Structure 1
Amino acid sequence: MKQTGSNIATLIATATPAARRRDAETLTALMQEVSGREPAAWGTIVGFGSCHYRYPTGNEGDMPILAFAPRKTASTIYLDDTGRYPEELAQLGPHTTGKGCLYIKDLEKVDLAVLRGILESTLAWTEAGGNDQVEITVTG
């Protein structure tokens, strides 16, 4: 994955429906505050910082440290592993999950303090270098 240099405001402005644009603005501010990094476009993903990952299998690449995508059906928030947050997710509010993705249809219905804690934990895990399943080096 590579940064594309697209304009973040334009990326957010084209998100539909209107609730997704509103949520994208909130997530941008939250992730910028949590990460201390400026947003950058990685295609249709809004990312904060960058890192290089490498799996024992040899698969490797680059990705943002924290990121989300304002998709039509829900905001997709990329995490290290949703399985690490069972208590937090139980308190978050309406959402669904995948292995490393948190899907939120309406950010106004979730507890932003809980979401902040999950993002802070993901950031700390990434900055610590991952685990025995993946080696991570922060590059930006």
Structure 2
Amino acid sequence: MAYEAKTKETENSVIEFIEQVDNPKKREDAYQLLDIFAETTGFPAKMWGPSIIGFGSYHYKYASGHEGDAPLVGFSPRKAKISLYFAPGDEEARGALLQHFGKYTAGKGCVYINKVADVDVEVMKKLIARSVEFLQETYPKS
């Protein structure tokens, strides 16, 4: 049985999704992130699954045969924290940028922040640009 990715691009409205964010400050941050990601990537915002706002896309295929599509970068204003989705890429360069990012916690592909005011937006733009560049080099359009 083929694996089906849960997170797919949808036709849902990004603005309607942001408007449903309960916390007014988190909603304001989501609009700020929308501008930062769109301006930095040059891609329009699209909903991916029910709660991820993604920019651009790429098609991946692993040696296992698993393949699918994913956004190049994105974010999700979740109840607890805001999730920022960046490709890990060059761990050393990413780590160097994150040293100057501000208050965050991180997972493999995610960086979690409480609010935009906690981080350096210029460093965020560099993380976004690096992620897009890395994924476009790793998974070129055929």
In structure 2, the partner of 1:36 is 42
Q: What is the alpha-carbon distance in structure 2 between the residues aligned to residue 120 and residue 4 of structure 1?
A: 24
The runs of 5 or more residues in structure 1 that have no matched partner are 131-135
In structure 2, the partner of 1:14 is 20
Q: Which has the higher contact order (CA 8 A, sep 6+)?
A: 1
In structure 2, the partner of 1:5 is 11
- Tell me the TM-score normalized by structure 2: 0.87
In structure 1, the partner of 2:4 is none
- Does the CA-based 8 Å contact 1:53-1:137 persist in structure 2? no
Percent identical residues = 31
Q: Kindly report the root-mean-square deviation, in angstroms, between the aligned alpha carbons of the 2 structures.
A: 1.6
In structure 2, the partner of 1:47 is 54
Structure 1 runs of 4+ aligned residues shifted over 6 Å read none
Instruction: Count matched residues.
Output: 133
Higher normalized strand content (fraction of residues): 1
- Does the CA-based 8 Å contact 1:16-1:71 persist in structure 2? no
The runs of 5 or more residues in structure 2 that have no matched partner are 1-6
Q: What is the alpha-carbon distance in structure 2 between the residues aligned to residue 137 and residue 16 of structure 1?
A: 38
Displacement of 1:90 in angstroms is 1.1
In structure 2, the partner of 1:59 is 66
